[in-house]
Structure 1
Amino acid sequence: MEPRMATIDTAEADFFGALAGDWWDPNGSSAMLHRINPVRLGYIRDALLAKGGDARARHLLAGTTALDVGCGAGLLAEPLARMGAAVTGIDAAPENIAAAQAHAATGGLTVTYRAAPVEVLAREGATFDLVTCMEVVEHVADRPTFLSALRTLTAKTGMLIMSTPNRTALSYATLIVGAERIARTIPRGAHDWHKFVTPGELTAELAAAGFVVTGTRGLTWRPGTGFVLGRDTSINYYLTAVPA
């Protein structure tokens, strides 16, 4: 494990590292992420196409570099690699990185995984065409420093895609009470509602870090359909930003 830095909340990293063993089990502790992942990939694809990507391309990310921040066991990093990107995944929990490396090896995928904070990569000077940061910003210890590092890591012509819960009464009722305490579809204790960030707050903080937000979509559950993207950002939302 590379040095822990200001953005890493040790308790959060330890909590999610303890879940590494069943991360790839669609019925395990990360079941909700498995259900959301197709929506994530759809949002990423739409953002790439809006930026000029070729809808006919078999490998939409061919010839590009991608960084998945807070990659867990590789649930998003692996599909990005299959889309043609040279992918690096970083996570604060070494247990997650070990699980990610093992799973990629069984599938014959080449993904570079590191148990490292964003500050380490930012200091090294690497930049990426696509930076993804899904359900992570609500877990970091120092958000301004974290976002500044993301800006350093995003190439001048690159793009940042994030998702995170909104801080509303509805998100508390849905995610904390409903999903964690009652339905147990999310591990209890996975979230601290007070660390949730509103779209307005995140947009302003991204601007301070040197980004311009170019798109925002909400994530909701539709009975009979599942998770869908739309205008309602009251529970969870996706956001695209580019360097200013």
Structure 2
Amino acid sequence: MTSIDPAEIAKFEAMAAEWWDTKGKFKPLHMMNPVRLDYIVTQIAAEFGLDRNAPRPFDGLRILDIGCGGGLISEPMARLGATVVGADAAEGNIAVARLHAEQQGLKIDYRATTAESLLQDDEAFDVVLALEIVEHVAEPAEFVATCHDLARPGGLVLMSTLNRTVKSFGAAIIGAEWVMRWLPKGTHDWDRFITPEELAQMMVQAGLAPVDRRGMVFNPITWGWSLSDRDLTVNYAISGRRTV
């Protein structure tokens, strides 16, 4: 079985060369990335009792970045000391990620593969990151269960995605795709967006205990992003600990 939706993979394969272009099709991700990274680092440090201000706070942690794209999160995780496996079903993404990591002098184990294949190979991780991917897979609940299985007991699974609200339709589709044209039309399918409550329930059913959820909010006046305890209406992140 696989969670891969070939049509969704094709969308991102077509944009692979632009992953590290801060003014290209992935501009929204580059803008959001510092806030997204701050959430990830804070959650991992808290769950594992680490000092996030240490030179290499994630030394000794094995982290999987599933759906890693061009490596926007894999690279900072490696700089923080983690042993990183970056996996993506789109071979074009992996080629770009490998080249960029090499140029940066970073050692990252990039693989053109799926979460299910990693599980079949008995891979296990302290942290599983699944960022902006669950809304693109064929069976979200099965994908969440696979992420659970890839985490070691006591491990952490972090996901970020888009809420299914009127506001998210306006921001992610009308704004980002139709008006600003940051992304090609059709990159997102609003019907596939997942509410925080739905994703939390998928986690619980898979054996993950949700420990935190946070909104990532764009301010059109300051043209910047921030984390929010209250506003999860568009982009949000959720983390869960493997309990069984």
2:12 maps to which of 9, 16, 20: 16
Query: Are 1:61 and 2:61 an aligned pair?
Result: no
Assess if the C-alpha contact under 8 Å between 2:87 and 2:114 holds in 1.
Answer: yes
Instruction: Provide Cα deviations, 1:186-243, integer angstroms capped at 9, x if missing partner.
Output: 3321100000000000111111111111000011112226110102001110111001
2:222 maps to which of 221, 224, 234: 224
Query: Are 1:130 and 2:113 an aligned pair?
Result: no
Query: Are 1:139 and 2:110 an aligned pair?
Result: no
| CA distance in 2 between partners of 1:49 and 1:80 (Å) | 12
Residue aligned with 1:24, SS: coil
Which residue of structure 2 aligns with residue 44 of structure 1?
40
| CA distance in 1 between partners of 2:183 and 2:212 (Å) | 27
Which residue of structure 2 aligns with residue 71 of structure 1?
68
| CA distance in 1 between partners of 2:52 and 2:12 (Å) | 36
Which residue of structure 2 aligns with residue 161 of structure 1?
158
Assess if the C-alpha contact under 8 Å between 2:217 and 2:231 holds in 1.
Answer: yes
Return the letter of the residue paired with 1:48: I
| CA distance in 1 between partners of 2:184 and 2:214 (Å) | 25
Q: Where does the alignment leave 5 or more consecutive residues of structure 1 unmatched?
A: none
Assess if the C-alpha contact under 8 Å between 2:36 and 2:216 holds in 1.
Answer: no
Query: Are 1:25 and 2:24 an aligned pair?
Result: no
Which residue of structure 2 aligns with residue 93 of structure 1?
90
Residue aligned with 1:148, SS: helix
Return the letter of the residue paired with 2:64: L
Return the letter of the residue paired with 1:11: A
Superposition deviation, residue 41 in structure 1:
1.1
Moved more, 225-234 or 85-94: 225-234
Return the letter of the residue paired with 1:13: I
Which residue of structure 2 aligns with residue 234 of structure 1?
233
Assess if the C-alpha contact under 8 Å between 2:71 and 2:86 holds in 1.
Answer: yes
Superposition deviation, residue 185 in structure 1:
2.2
Query: TM-score, normalised on structure 2?
Result: 0.95
Superposition deviation, residue 55 in structure 1:
3.5
Moved more, 177-186 or 72-81: 177-186
Residue aligned with 1:88, SS: strand
Count of equivalent residues: 240
Query: TM-score, normalised on structure 1?
Result: 0.95
Which residue of structure 1 aligns with residue 112 of structure 2?
115
Percent identity between the two aligned chains:
42
Superposition deviation, residue 49 in structure 1:
2.9
Residue aligned with 2:38, SS: helix
| Alignment root-mean-square deviation, CA | 1.1
| CA distance in 2 between partners of 1:85 and 1:196 (Å) | 30
Which residue of structure 2 aligns with residue 243 of structure 1?
242
Query: Are 1:205 and 2:202 an aligned pair?
Result: yes
Runs of 4+ with >3 A deviation: none
